[in-house]
Structure 1
Amino acid sequence: MTDHDFLLHPEHWQHRMQKTLERADNVGTKARERLLKVAQEYERMAARAAELRAAREVLNERRY
């Protein structure tokens, strides 16, 4: 496992998204808007990580 393997784990990004949403509940309006945008990006990154993980698995299967 490399230092960057977490990038391919949707769970990592989903966890960050959840923590960001929790923080958004405890701040003012402007900060909440910003945090919600960040949470949306984490959600997008989680989806991308799932795609990349699936692609990596397909490539690994083809090698064997």
Structure 2
Amino acid sequence: MGSYGVIVKMQLYSGVIFLRSKMVNMTNEFDTLLASRALTLKFVENFTPKQLNRIPEGFKNNLI
């Protein structure tokens, strides 16, 4: 049994806002989220905490 959710899209036509919603199977979305998080973790586990916390010149934040 999969997980289901509602996707709501808002569109503007001639100054009027239309809302459209539909039920979607969320299993694929969760699988995609888990895969992207696994790839991110694989990428960052090669760095030390010092490297991850470094703020590069010209930026205001770090990787974590």
Taking structure 1 as the reference length, what is the TM-score of the superposition? 0.38
Larger CA Rg, structure 1 vs 2: 2
User: Larger relative CO (CA 8 A, sep 6+): 1 or 2?
Assistant: 1
Q: TM-score normalized by structure 2?
A: 0.38
Higher strand share: 2
Q: Report which of the two has the higher share of helix.
A: 1
